[in-house]
Amino acid sequence: MSDKGMNLTLKIWRQKDSKSKGKMETYKLSDISEHMSFLEMLDVLNEQLINEGQEPVAFDHDCREGICGMCSLYINGEAHGPDRGITTCQLHMRMFNDGDTIVIEPWRAAAFPVTKDLIVDRSAMDRIQQAGGFISVNTSGNTQDANAIPINKSDADKSFDAAACIGCGACVATCKNASAMLFVSAKISQFALLPQGQVEAKERVDNMVKQMDLEGFGNCTNTGACEAECPKGISLENIARMNREFIKSAVLKDK
């Protein structure tokens, strides 16, 4: 690659607000370094647009360290772009070539309405979490030390793996049915595998699955695209565990 950097064509979804009709707009960028992150490239575009008196492109971001999941973009038909195991903010321009056309869209799901340009409202996932993704803790001063509770290392490791989910929504955006099963199953599994999560296990899975359905997410058809695109590698095994927890809850309910 030459020292002058890349020349790129960007096709970006522009939408004034949730009630307006959006469309793709085309922009040209030049001299983009391969060492830039994808979001830095968008910063350069916005600086250019502002200098030209145009409205900058609205996109979501926060930590830019792959922790928060805010930087949710659909890039060339892939959630978080062409690299694997990363969020958009960790994607670098060396994954692209001089002269490339890059298509940038927001997440596409009925439960994720577009609020402006590339920003979607993902509060549906917050409401699912609030419905049951927690444990009640006795804070009276007589709580048991967590380290005093014996936990099988395999279960502890699986729980930590499930807890790695950052709720970015890549699984939903990738799924042909816009299913949130991978996200919900991760939030259920992180407690289902631990003794601290057993007290409210039945209510947790019932409430979270019910809220998921109320939010309008689709059903899982075991395609596996969600796991493939998840930046944290959340396993499909969690969906199987959630299904078992749901069946167990139904059996207990009948007794």
Q: pLDDT digit string (tens) for 76-91?
A: 999 999 999 999 999 9
Q: Residue 69's pLDDT band (boundaries 50, 70, 90)? A: very high
Q: What confidence score (pLDDT) does residue 138 get?
A: 73
Nearest CA to 23 out of 82, 106, 122 is that of 106
What lies within 8 Å, CB to CB, of 165 at 6+ separation is 182, 183, 186, 187, 190, 230, 232, 234
**Cross-strand bridge partners of residue 13:** 24
Model confidence over 114-131: pLDDT tens digits?
999 999 999 999 999 999
CATH of region 6-116? 3.10.20.30
- The reply to whether CATH 3.30.1490.190 applies to domain 123-254 is no
3-state secondary structure of 53: coil
| β-bridge pairing 119-120 and 74-75 | unpaired
- Mark residue 236 as left, alpha or beta (left: phi above 0; alpha: psi -120 to 50; beta: remaining): alpha
Quick one: DSSP state of residue 94? G
In this predicted structure, the answer to whether residue 1 has a pLDDT above a threshold of 50 is: no
Q: d(Cα 254, Cα 136) in Å, to the nearest integer?
A: 25
Tell me the per-residue pLDDT of 30-65, one tens digit each, with 9 for 90 and over.
999 999 999 999 999 999 999 999 999 999 999 999
Strand partners, 104: 12, 75
Secondary structure (3-state) at 11: strand
Domain chopping of the chain, boundaries:
6-116, 123-254
Say if residues 234 and 165 touch (Cβ distance below 8 Å).
Answer: yes
Q: Is the pLDDT of residue 2 over 60?
A: no
Q: How far apart are CA 109 and CA 112, in angstroms?
A: 5
Question: In this structure, are residues 30 and 10 in contact, taking their beta carbons and an 8 Å threshold?
Answer: no
In order of 56, 105, 117, 202, the CA distances from 15 in angstroms are 12, 11, 5, 42
Please check the confidence at residue 179 and state whether its pLDDT lies above 90: yes
Burial of 143 (0-12, 13-18, 19+ CB in 10 A): exposed
